Amino acid sequence: TQGKVTEWNAKASSLLEFTKKETIGKNLVANFITEEFRDSVNEVLSAALKGKETANFEFPLFTKSGERRDILLNATTRRGPDGEITGVIGVGQDITQIREITSEQMRIADDLSRLIESANAPIFGVDVNGLVTEWNRKSADMLGYAKGETLGKNFVSNFIQPEDRDSVQNVLKKALTGEETANYELPLIAKYGKRYTVLLNATPRRDGKGHVVGVVGVGQDITELDKVMGESKRVADDLTRLIETA
């Protein structure tokens, strides 16, 4: 009840490099917890000494050689034969590698988010219900809708012209079943009325278990190219008619 170590098993010894003899009788918090976490660990131990258990408490421990280990702790009240509280038993799990993997995944996710946001191409995302989940800066600049105006809104019903909604909906449905669509010409109308043609690649978005949770659309603005090709076709048609009637 005074916070002194009474148990220190073989796993604790191998993990932290302190032998049982080096720890027994010493104050756990003062000797084996870094200063920044002493108050929070003390709170957990104090709660357990009052009969209140704590589950899944995360805190770092440092080995004898200074290496950090992240521990997930369950602190349980220890009682004597008459039910009186005699101390605390801490059962921990070393989650150092899990934390490292999670941190790396977060770093990659942050990098991807920055890449999407700064890409010189319109990129949008929708969930399985067709609601917008991603809307990068290029999409906002091109179409005049700020990210805040689009998130959570139905992509097809709010940002696609009525005559194009069925075909766009089919592209999204295919992606939600795992089928990608490449080079789909998507007509978009900007907030201020300008019409754009975007060459779209629609890709399924998956979670960590591989389940499809939405669609990512990466586009390329081909509006000017479309105009040039349209004008070229018109000139070619005029020349064909001229030759035909000459």
pLDDT in tens, 157-206: 999 989 999 999 999 999 999 999 999 998 888 998 888 989 999 999 98
Q: What are phi and psi of 50, to 5 degrees?
A: -100, 5
| Count of other CB atoms within 10 angstroms of residue 175 | 22
pLDDT in tens, 75-127: 888 888 888 888 888 888 888 888 877 777 777 767 777 777 777 889 999 99
How many Å apart are CA 117 and CA 208, to the nearest integer?
A: 22
How many Å apart are CA 235 and CA 246, to the nearest integer?
A: 16
Model confidence band, residue 60 (pLDDT cutoffs 50, 70, 90): confident
Helices H, strands E: what count in the chain?
10, 8
Both tokens of 119, joined, read 């890409």
pLDDT in tens, 198-219: 999 999 998 878 899 999 999 8
How many Å apart are CA 156 and CA 187, to the nearest integer?
A: 11
